[in-house]
Structure 1
Amino acid sequence: MTTTTSSPASPQPVLQAIETGERVFGLPLEHGPLAPATARHAAQPVLESWGLDEEQVYDVLLVISELVTNAVVHALPPVVLHLHATADTTGSVQVHVSDGGPQPTTTTGASWAADRPEDEHGRGGSIVTMFADCTGIETDCDTDGLIDHWATLDAA
């Protein structure tokens, strides 16, 4: 008798075009050091297909990387990336990264991040603010209880 085990399937992205012309992309991410790269690699072709130019794609990918890194280093799982492109004349892309909220103080956080030089920490929020038109944090207590960190970038 042969027994086989299968590893759980990798989370699959959700790409959706809403009838109004708005575009939505969602991707659950592993809570680990590969999450920022996974998010960037999945989002780049989506952003390009939405008509963003090279500089706009770069800016959005940088914001994605910073928000996902912060979620993995400072928060509990799950980590989920959501992108939303508006179809109106504002021409904006909203980046949302949801996480499970702050890690307890007894948790040391991601050891892979703690091994980085001290001068490589603490700039993520400033980078996001520099590239985004507006940013914010919301708690979605009435549905899934996740914390949503978001940024809106110009894509016109």
Structure 2
Amino acid sequence: MAVQLNTPVREACEHVCSVPPVAGAVPAARRQVGRILADWEVCADIVDDALLVVSELLTNAIVHALPPALLRLSWVREGGLGTLRVEVTDAGPALAAGHCPSGIDPDEHGRGVEIVHALATRHGIRVRPGGITRWADLVALGATP
């Protein structure tokens, strides 16, 4: 008698794009990400949070870091869970710690990291020579392939 094991189906998608440090780049990237997440059939319960995380991480990279900003999205569905990872890599800080770019009111900025931490299941930073990657995972229960 043959025994059939139910192995979870694993599906993975990935998208990588460079985001230029120009006016309108973040909203354009956000629209593009929305289309990608729809194409991937990412669970609706995390799409809005994902778009906000993308906006915050990209804005941070464009305002506070050296270009280029590289956005990487990955969506993995396995065993009833869906995990969307948002990563933004930049070339490191544009200014020394504690300094704000000219024309930026520090009272109106600085909450992006807190927003990402509040929305993400997991988050972190990877530092390597020549670049920093900030990442956030958003997990959806009941994600079926």
TM-score by length of 1: 0.74
Q: CA deviation at 1:55?
A: 3.5
Q: Determine the C-alpha separation between the residues in 2 that align with 1:109 and 1:82.
A: 25
User: Is it true that 1:83 corresponds to 2:44 in the alignment?
Assistant: no
Larger RCO, structures 1/2 (Cα 8 Å, 6+ apart): 2
Q: Determine the C-alpha separation between the residues in 2 that align with 1:155 and 1:98.
A: 24
Confirm or deny: 8 A CA contact 1:29 1:38 kept in the other structure. Answer: no
Deviation track 1:32-87 (CA, whole Å, cap 9, x = no partner) reads 33221121011001111222243411110000000000111110000011000113
More strand by percentage: 2
Q: Match for residue 133 of structure 2?
A: 148
TM-score by length of 2: 0.79
> What are the ranges of 5 or more consecutive residues in structure 1 without an aligned counterpart?
1-19
| Counterparts in 2 of 1:55 and 1:135: CA distance versus 1, 3 Å | same
Which residue identity does 1:88 align to in structure 2? E
Q: Determine the C-alpha separation between the residues in 1 that align with 2:123 and 2:102.
A: 24
Could you say what the CA RMSD is over the residues aligned between the two structures, in angstroms? 2.2
Q: Match for residue 34 of structure 1?
A: 24
Deviation track 1:76-113 (CA, whole Å, cap 9, x = no partner) reads 000011000113233100000010100133x86364xx
Q: Percent identity?
A: 36
Helix, strand or coil at the partner of 2:78: coil
| Counterparts in 2 of 1:53 and 1:91: CA distance versus 1, 3 Å | closer
User: Is it true that 1:43 corresponds to 2:33 in the alignment?
Assistant: yes
Q: Match for residue 64 of structure 1?
A: 54
Tell me how many residue pairs correspond in the alignment.
130
Confirm or deny: 8 A CA contact 1:33 1:72 kept in the other structure. Answer: no
